[in-house]
Amino acid sequence: MIFPQSKKNSYLCGAKKSYLLSPHTKQTKPKTNYNIMVSYKELGLVNTREMFAKAIAGGYAIPAFNFNNMEQLQAIIKAAATEKSPVILQVSKGARNYANATLLRYMAQGAVEYAKELGWEHPQIVLHLDHGDSFELCKSCIDSGFSSVMIDGSHLPYEENVALTKQVCDYAHQYDVTVEGELGVLAGVEDEVSSDHHTYTDPEEVIDFAQRTGCDSLAISIGTSHGAYKFTPEQCTRNAEGKLVPPPLAFDVLDAVMEKLPGFPIVLHGSSSVPQDEVDTINMFGGKLPDAIGIPEEQLRKAAKSAVCKINIDSDSRLAMTAAVRRVFAEKPGEFDPRKYLGPARDNMEKLYRHKIVNVLGSAGKAE
């Protein structure tokens, strides 16, 4: 309560000065501290440890879908809840900056509750940092409720990669957060990650790397790459219809890694298949994506039956979203309500995610 200041109340209980406020005193509310550490368990999320063990034993892979906005998140959760598939919500550094770290935390919590509303009684949802590039970024994500992080030191000299990955693991494991490391370099461009060449993972390094870092899973390079242009036309052949056919993945490298690290969780990045029907739709309605090509789904199915228990997919959903939006703009040029073009985009992405879950990764029904 605020009292008018007077001589009578200038001294109370022997105090030298009055602590009562005058009517002219400006009151300030204490600032809320948004940097307080939040455990992913409070948000209803899970880490990848048990999820990966089941996937390896069951011969399937967990979908790791990147998202940047609400419509992508809605589509991912609806697809996973409908198919009862465990799912990894992936967020890059750029996506986290775009969405806002605080909003992202509550979006993840809301995703868990949305899954329950859809009838998924026990959702198995991971919030994962994709391509973390520093200890500070990984720590920030862990502190704000991520249940899994990737530290990508693959561009560093080997010993520096080991040291950085171990630093992140040592911090993350205190809070039961799982960590993905990387050996080998993927070509292509995705957000802040860019390389004009790829370097296959050296199977001779994987045992030393896993043991010294303590990482929970390992991303390897066997010929996948980031973006919608995973191969140049010169790297491909053409079939009878004149369409590009990409070179096969280096399954010999994967086999050698699995021989060195039997039963260890392996991750494939850059595994979008770049659906040609979506590319054709984009190009039909004013887009320019010549010679866009991805990883054939039959090769991903083969990988999913091995120790590859996490397969990352980003570009495919971008293409599905863009194709739907371009179609609406072309067919209904007077439309300006975002719900009328983002709604169809969301539906198209959900269809894509369900296809990946059921027909490519084999994870449907694994999270009843």
Tokens representing 206? 């994987």
CATH of the domain at 164: 3.20.20.70
pLDDT at 27: 58
* Overall domain count for the chain: 1
Average pLDDT over residues 195-209: 82
pLDDT value of residue 29: 60
Is the pLDDT score of 204 beyond 90? Answer: yes
Which pLDDT tens digit goes with each residue over 223-255?
876 565 656 777 777 887 777 777 789 999 999
How would you label 313-339 residue by residue, b for 16+ Cβ within 10 Å and e otherwise? bbbbbbbbbbbbbbbbeeeeeeeeeee
**Domain-embedded: residue 7:** no
Tell me, yes or no, whether 19 lies in a domain: no
Asked, for residue 16, whether it belongs to a domain, the answer is: no
Residue 196 per-residue DSSP state:
S
Residue 3 is assigned to a structural domain of this protein: no
pLDDT band at 299 (very low <50, low <70, confident <90, very high): very high
Q: Give the per-residue pLDDT at 9.
A: 40
| Catalytic, out of 130, 152, 216, 316 | 130
Residue 24 located in a structural domain:
no
Q: Following CA atoms 74, 76, 82, 84 in sequence, which dihedral angle do they give, to the nearest 10 degrees? A: -130
Instruction: Determine, yes or no, domain membership for 27.
Output: no
Distance of alpha carbon 253 from the chain centroid:
25
**Which carries the bigger pLDDT value, residue 84 or residue 292?**
84
Q: Is the pTM of this model over 0.85?
A: yes
- In degrees and rounded to multiples of 5, residue 310 shows phi and psi of -140, 125
Residue 30 lies in a domain: no
Percent of the chain with pLDDT over 90: 75
What are residue 60's phi and psi, to 5 degrees? Answer: -140, 175
Residue 84 identity: K
Average pLDDT score over residue span 360-367: 98
Q: Which residues contact 108 (CB under 8 A, 6 or more apart)?
A: 43, 45, 89, 125, 127, 145
- Domain assignment present for 68: yes
Give the C-alpha separation, 311 to 219, whole Å: 10
Domain that holds residue 229: 38-361
Identify the DSSP state of 199. Answer: B
Per the model's pLDDT, the better-predicted residue between 140 and 19 turns out to be 140
130 is catalytic: yes
Q: Apex CA 39: angle with CA 265 and CA 41, to 5°?
A: 65
Using 50, 70 and 90 to split pLDDT, how confident is the model at 309? very high
User: Is the pLDDT confidence value at 184 over 50?
Assistant: yes
Residue 12 has pLDDT above 50, yes or no: no
